[in-house]
């Protein structure tokens, strides 16, 4: 760790953050192996222990170093990068990881479909082999940032004659392909950060496949487990996130306080702090392997607490808590929704219990894989996908 701290210090001395061009700074950071220090040398890392990442990120943040736009982080950093690292070829590492880290290429996730959300393995988007390419046809939905993405991680069905989990393959899809059509889905907030995506004879080179043909479900599990950690267990300081906003409002506006609200704020503060510390422990556990089902618990708690805190804040501010007049549909990618007004946050947090796996599905995962409770009976586990009723 001392060696790593010295590398960060030397890098910052050579590349002063003040006034630096963000893209050039992040490119240099990647090339120095200080992007994801646990990644291999040449892939943005130094082969260091995964637990060292937090200290490196803290040092760069303390120095005021530039960061990629927020839209690049949850999907790009939290889902695509670890999946590409685990299942990608050296050529794929070289092509995709650097512009992903710098935010020059934003990523989206083409998983959910109109008829395959919670039960993702029933998805119907087809990929048919044609020489060195796969021809993809289908529809995806609830795709965050598809309107701005350069690349997408895509799961498609390559064999309909086997049970649903066995006939899937995992690809990197070019969102600039002429067969990709993106349509906005306007949310309760008035924004359209989500989209539906239509794929019409989209050609994906076999060189853009991650993992073996038919192993898409295995690859997707790596993505989904990392996704839940990225959403629910991201690094944050004490009083970070929405609880910090609510606590600051409480301190700055004593005229809004009541005994009942005080008791609720204290309880929410303790819950948020417990989640923060649990998330820190979870991230430390990642130093010895890939995320497990514990990430589902963190994501479930994150959604529950966010919704409770945003509801508290609306009640605390009374009429002003409902104020929300900015109904912009397409917002700049650098916008952080957590910094917006209370009315927006209250509406936006309703999506926290859906995105990244619904709370109901996460409870099933916790029950089966953490608590060891019996699995739900499934009648379709050994039935060929083509024979399933739809």
Which active-site residues does the annotation give? Answer: 227
* CB contact at 8 A, 197 and 181: yes
In the structure, what pLDDT confidence band is assigned to residue 204 with cuts at 50, 70 and 90? very high
Of 42, 69, 102, the position where a domain reaches its end is: 102
Distance (Å, rounded) from C-alpha 111 to C-alpha 120?
Answer: 7
236 within 8 A of 302, measured Cβ to Cβ: no
pLDDT(168) > 60: yes
Domain hosting residue 86, numbered range: 2-102
Is position 293 within any domain?
yes
pLDDT in tens, 340-380: 788 888 998 998 888 877 888 889 888 888 888 998 887 77
Residue 288 pLDDT more than 60?
Answer: no
pLDDT, tens digit, 9 for 90 and up, residues 102-132: 999 999 999 999 988 888 999 999 999 999 9
Regarding whether 264 and 208 lie in a shared domain, the answer is no
Q: Minimal CA–CA distance to 75: which of 139, 142, 6, 15?
A: 142
Of 5 and 207, the one with more pLDDT: 207
Q: What is the pLDDT of residues 57-81, one digit of tens each?
A: 989 999 999 998 877 888 999 899 9
Q: Is the pLDDT at 198 greater than 90, yes or no?
A: yes
The number of beta carbons lying within 10 Å of the beta carbon of residue 139 is: 17
| Position 247 confidence tier, pLDDT thresholds 50, 70, 90 | very high
pLDDT above 70 for 20: yes
28 Cβ contact partners less than 8 Å away, ≥ 6 residues apart: 11, 15
Question: Which range is least confidently modeled, 173-187, 196-210, 328-342?
Answer: 328-342
φ, ψ for residue 110, nearest 5 deg? -100, 80
In this structure, are 350 and 250 located in the same domain? yes
Co-location of 347 and 233 in the same domain = yes
Question: How many domains does the structure of the chain reveal?
Answer: 3
| Residue 388 placed within a domain | no
Verify that 239 and 356 share a domain, yes or no: yes
Co-location of 348 and 264 in the same domain:
yes
Q: Assess whether pLDDT exceeds 70 at residue 154.
A: yes
CA distances, 208 to each of 58, 91, 205 (Å): 34, 10, 5
Q: Which residue, 43, 69, 102, sits at the end of a domain?
A: 102
């Amino acid at each position: 760790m001392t060696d790593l701290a010295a590398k960060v210090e030397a890098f910052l001395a050579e590349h002063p953050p003040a006034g630096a061009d963000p893209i050039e700074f992040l490119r240099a950071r990647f090339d120095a192996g200080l992007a994801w220090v646990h990644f291999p040398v040449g892939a943005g890392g130094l082969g260091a222990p995964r637990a060292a990442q937090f200290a490196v990120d803290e040092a760069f943040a303390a120095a005021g170093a530039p960061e990629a736009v927020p839209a690049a982080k949850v999907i790009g950093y939290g889902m695509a990068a670890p999946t590409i690292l685990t299942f990608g070829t050296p050529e794929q590492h070289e092509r995709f990881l650097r512009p992903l880290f710098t935010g020059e290429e934003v990523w989206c996730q083409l998983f959910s479909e109109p008829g395959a959300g919670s039960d993702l393995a029933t998805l119907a988007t087809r990929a048919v082999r044609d020489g060195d390419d796969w021809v993809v046809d289908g529809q995806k939905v609830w795709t965050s940032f598809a309107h701005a993405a350069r690349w997408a991680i895509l799961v498609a069905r390559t064999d309909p004659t086997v049970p649903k989990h066995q006939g899937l393959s995992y690809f990197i899809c070019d969102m600039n392909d002429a067969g990709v059509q993106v349509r906005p889905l306007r949310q309760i907030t008035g924004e359209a950060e989500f989209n539906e995506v239509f794929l019409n004879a989209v050609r994906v080179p076999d060189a853009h496949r991650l993992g073996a043909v038919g192993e898409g479900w295995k690859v997707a599990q790596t993505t989904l487990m990392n996704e839940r950690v990225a959403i629910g267990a991201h690094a944050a300081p004490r009083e970070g996130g929405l609880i910090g906003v609510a606590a600051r409002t409480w301190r700055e506006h004593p005229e809004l306080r009541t005994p009942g609200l005080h008791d609720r704020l204290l309880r929410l503060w303790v819950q948020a702090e417990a989640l923060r510390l649990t998330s820190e422990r979870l991230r430390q556990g990642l130093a010895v392997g890939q995320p497990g089902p514990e990430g589902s618990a963190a994501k479930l708690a994150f959604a529950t607490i966010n919704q409770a805190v945003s509801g508290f804040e609306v009640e605390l501010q009374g009429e002003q808590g409902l104020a929300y007049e900015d109904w912009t549909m397409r917002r700049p990618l650098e916008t952080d929704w957590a910094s917006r007004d209370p009315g927006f946050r209250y509406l936006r947090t309703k999506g926290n219990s859906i995105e990244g796996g619904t709370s109901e599905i996460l409870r099933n995962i916790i029950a089966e894989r953490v608590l060891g409770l019996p699995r739900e009976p499934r009648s379709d586990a050994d039935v060929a996908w083509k024979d399933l009723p739809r």
